[in-house]
Structure 1
Amino acid sequence: MSTLNEQLATLVEKYTACDISDALLKLQKVPEGGTARAGYLADLAPFSPIIGRNETTKKIAAPATTFKFLSKGATPPTIATENPEKHGFPPGKHWVDYAGDFAAADPANAGSIIVIEQPGDQYCAVTGGIMATRMKVLGLKGAVVGGRIRDLRELQATGLPIWARSTSTVGTGAEAKAVARDVPISIGGLTVSPGDIVFCDPFEGVVVIPRDLLDPVMELMPKLISMDEKAIEAVAQGMTVTQAFRDFRA
């Protein structure tokens, strides 16, 4: 069986975010009345090292290290107050100084990608140049911010891949505070748990593979890609999409 690092290397080398979503669409059960999300973190774009979708920046994949932000006056969730050493923020240490803890404790030595949840109604940034520099020093592979970032020149200077929903000129202290770490978070309604595999494709988007589905995803993707290649070839030679789907995707 392949190691986690070998699987991550294969993901980056051979597959796209769309390939992963296709597999998750087949594998995940959608709750009754729900909508299939297939791991996709919607409405995020790369801001570092290049702004916008591109084919120049390399794809990255690593386990998630999660951080949850709320408004300044909000009460931290119970999990953080009951176990501050593991899920909270004891006084005297900035949240980003914990960014490397999850990866350091992971026996797979696969590194990590920071994933941040920020309330959608906030206008401040939760990551800026100082935080990105610290992430770089700690060896993080990248950051995915379900919210706003700032200091784009400083962010890009780090070379760290950083995705976000949007930008701001306002610092975190205006509205937000980190309230929990290494807990399940929600980015646009999609749950991301610590250790889930985050895959950043600078051309197609960001997807998250639940850790327990990584092996099935890796096994299924080659089969789905082969089916699609046959369908594309058939359509290119004049077959209707209806017939191609019937012949190759059934």
Structure 2
Amino acid sequence: MPNLNNVLETLAENYSACDVSDALLKIQHVPEGSTVRAGYLADLVPFSPLVGRNATVPRVAAPATTFKFVAKASTVPPLTIATNENHSFPPGKHWVDYAGDYEATHSPGVGSIVVIEQPEGQYCAVTGGIMATRMKFLGIKAAVIGGRVRDLKELSGTGLPVWARGTSTVGTNAEAKPAARNVPISIGGLTVSPGDIVFCDPLEGVVVIPRELLGPVMEIMPRLTRMDEKAKQAVAQGMSVTEAFTTFRSPL
């Protein structure tokens, strides 16, 4: 694999989230009977630096740094890792202060994207202005929240791309607490593991590339996009979609 920074720059500059999903559909194997997700983290909306889908904010891609939140009343450490210093939060340390640790250890100089799992059905926010400000200082490239955020003016002021399912006026402590870091998490049923490549496309959405599939995805996407461009040009000149697909979308 070439230099990771160069690969991620090529990904962000030349492809869309849809291109990534098209590639994953071709090469990713899923258990029989399961729903094919092709890396898509569904129902996330960009709340910073601009609210809503747009084509003016640059795309960004980086390895995932993961955080798992649980219900405030929960007493059972998830994955029985409460005593593991690589995954837990020592007393007196705020979770966001660990946002840059995984990248510093595994991909120094590349940066990372924070991905947070929040329990389903909660109404509090797990990220706000102070957390976003800290992430920005630590060099985090974006934050993807499988839950809610608040302090939208402050979030936008940081310039940090922030994606979430929704917003809240309520602070984290009302319902949630951080339980683990650098562990596999689930966002809407899709697993995100530490180091997986998160691709935030402000227009199309957020997709996750399993780290081991980054090379194959980057290899196959140029061919897929060339085929689609030829098909699009042919359709624009009057060819039927069926004929265009048959002509230009050859099996891989």
Per the TM alignment, residue 80 of structure 1 is displaced from its structure 2 partner at its CA by 2.4
Partner-residue secondary structure (3-state), 1:87: coil
Query: Do residues 208 (structure 1) and 174 (structure 2) align?
Result: no
Partner-residue secondary structure (3-state), 1:86: coil
Which runs of 5 or more residues in structure 1 are unaligned?
A: none
CA RMSD of aligned residues (A): 1.0
Contact kept? 1:150, 1:168, Cα under 8 Å:
yes
Map of 2:155 onto structure 1 = 155
Per the TM alignment, residue 107 of structure 1 is displaced from its structure 2 partner at its CA by 4.0
Map of 2:175 onto structure 1 = 175
Whole-Å separation in 1 of the counterparts to 2:49 and 2:98? 23
Whole-Å separation in 1 of the counterparts to 2:97 and 2:188? 26
Map of 2:135 onto structure 1 = 135
Whole-Å separation in 2 of the counterparts to 1:161 and 1:79? 32
Map of 2:166 onto structure 1 = 166
Q: Deviations over 1:40-70 (max 9, x none)?
A: 1000010001001111111111000000011
The one-letter code sitting in structure 2 at the alignment partner of 1:80 is: I
Whole-Å separation in 1 of the counterparts to 2:128 and 2:28? 35
Contact kept? 1:100, 1:139, Cα under 8 Å:
yes
Map of 2:24 onto structure 1 = 24
The one-letter code sitting in structure 2 at the alignment partner of 1:211 is: R
Map of 2:5 onto structure 1 = 5
Per the TM alignment, residue 208 of structure 1 is displaced from its structure 2 partner at its CA by 0.5
Query: Do residues 188 (structure 1) and 188 (structure 2) align?
Result: yes
Map of 1:248 onto structure 2 = 248
Per the TM alignment, residue 104 of structure 1 is displaced from its structure 2 partner at its CA by 1.2
Which runs of 5 or more residues in structure 2 are unaligned?
A: none
The one-letter code sitting in structure 2 at the alignment partner of 1:184 is: P
Whole-Å separation in 1 of the counterparts to 2:107 and 2:80? 24
Query: Do residues 35 (structure 1) and 35 (structure 2) align?
Result: yes
The one-letter code sitting in structure 1 at the alignment partner of 2:136 is: K
Query: Do residues 120 (structure 1) and 107 (structure 2) align?
Result: no
Whole-Å separation in 1 of the counterparts to 2:108 and 2:246? 42
Per the TM alignment, residue 238 of structure 1 is displaced from its structure 2 partner at its CA by 1.5
Query: Do residues 76 (structure 1) and 77 (structure 2) align?
Result: yes
Per the TM alignment, residue 236 of structure 1 is displaced from its structure 2 partner at its CA by 1.4
Per the TM alignment, residue 31 of structure 1 is displaced from its structure 2 partner at its CA by 1.2
Per the TM alignment, residue 30 of structure 1 is displaced from its structure 2 partner at its CA by 2.1
Identify which range, 41-50 or 26-35, moves more after superposition: 26-35
Partner-residue secondary structure (3-state), 2:157: helix
Whole-Å separation in 2 of the counterparts to 1:57 and 1:94? 30
Whole-Å separation in 2 of the counterparts to 1:78 and 1:226? 44
Q: Deviations over 1:2-45 (max 9, x none)?
A: 21000001011111101111000101112111111000100001
Per the TM alignment, residue 172 of structure 1 is displaced from its structure 2 partner at its CA by 0.2
Per the TM alignment, residue 108 of structure 1 is displaced from its structure 2 partner at its CA by 4.6
The one-letter code sitting in structure 2 at the alignment partner of 1:170 is: V
Whole-Å separation in 1 of the counterparts to 2:112 and 2:80? 22
- The TM-score normalised by the length of structure 2 is 0.96
